[in-house]
Amino acid sequence: MSDYYYRGTTLSAHRPAVGALINAQFGWFYLAGEAYTVKLPTNPLAEIIVSGGIRPKVGPFDFDLGLIYFLYPGEAPNGLTTNTDYWEANGKASYKLTTTTTIGAEFAYTPSISNSGARATYAAGKIRIDLLNTSLPQGVNWYLSADLGHHWFGTVAPIFGGFALPSYTHWRAGLAFTYNVFTLDLSYHDTNLSREDCYVFTGDPQGLRSNWCGAALIATLSFELKYLPKRR
């Protein structure tokens, strides 16, 4: 990735990042692990995400209901903050509206985002539109996608100052190209956070005004390999 954005804010200080994901599914049940390079105020070695849950299909709807744990190993003390690991309950649903259009929704909740003591609730809507590939080389497909989400926050623990984290809205719009196992995604990200509120939310060590939540054009190149064991 040219920049690692998560729900509208950079986790790599606007620097390139790499990541990897492994996912194992058994019927409805799944386990997944992810790892990403990050540049955060506590200087962790990486962001590691462990998740598990179920992915049932009910009529025309596909669901993903799970628990996610975010780990940041090797963190260095940053003021009063020494450990930002936290867990989140997460639910997703998608529905194929037409043969080319899929819509989705996501809802998440954590009682203590980044181990700050502040509860956080997140909701988002998503859309993907597959485009005709008549003008592209053979084997290349493309699609448009967009997300619109909002994050609500509570108050951090008294030891951190007891202030309310700023709630915000973020949005993303992108165009992606796929070929064989590869995907190239070109996306625009932005939020409605001011630079002052962005500093409050992220703790950007560069100063009291932060650009970690601002507009960004991001390119992501990924590849996906699947293994389906033979049934005996």
Q: What is the DSSP string of 96-158?
A: E-SSSEEEEEEEEEESSGGGSS--EEEEEEEEEEEEP-TTS-TTEEEEEEEEEEEEEE-B--G
What is the DSSP secondary-structure string of 60-84? TEEEEEEEEEEE-TTPPPBTTB---
Coil, helix or strand for 199? helix
From 8, 57, 66, 61, select the one nearest 34 (Cα to Cα). Answer: 66
From 151, 82, 72, select the one nearest 110 (Cα to Cα). Answer: 151
Q: What dotted CATH number matches 5-223?
A: 2.40.160.40
The CA distance from 178 to 185, in Å, is 9
Low-confidence ranges of the chain (pLDDT < 70): 231-232
* Residue type (1 letter), 54: I
The CA distance from 164 to 207, in Å, is 19
* pTM, 2 dp: 0.93
* Amino acid 135: pLDDT: 83
The pLDDT tens digits of the residues spanning 157-195 come to 999 899 999 999 999 999 999 999 999 999 999 999 999
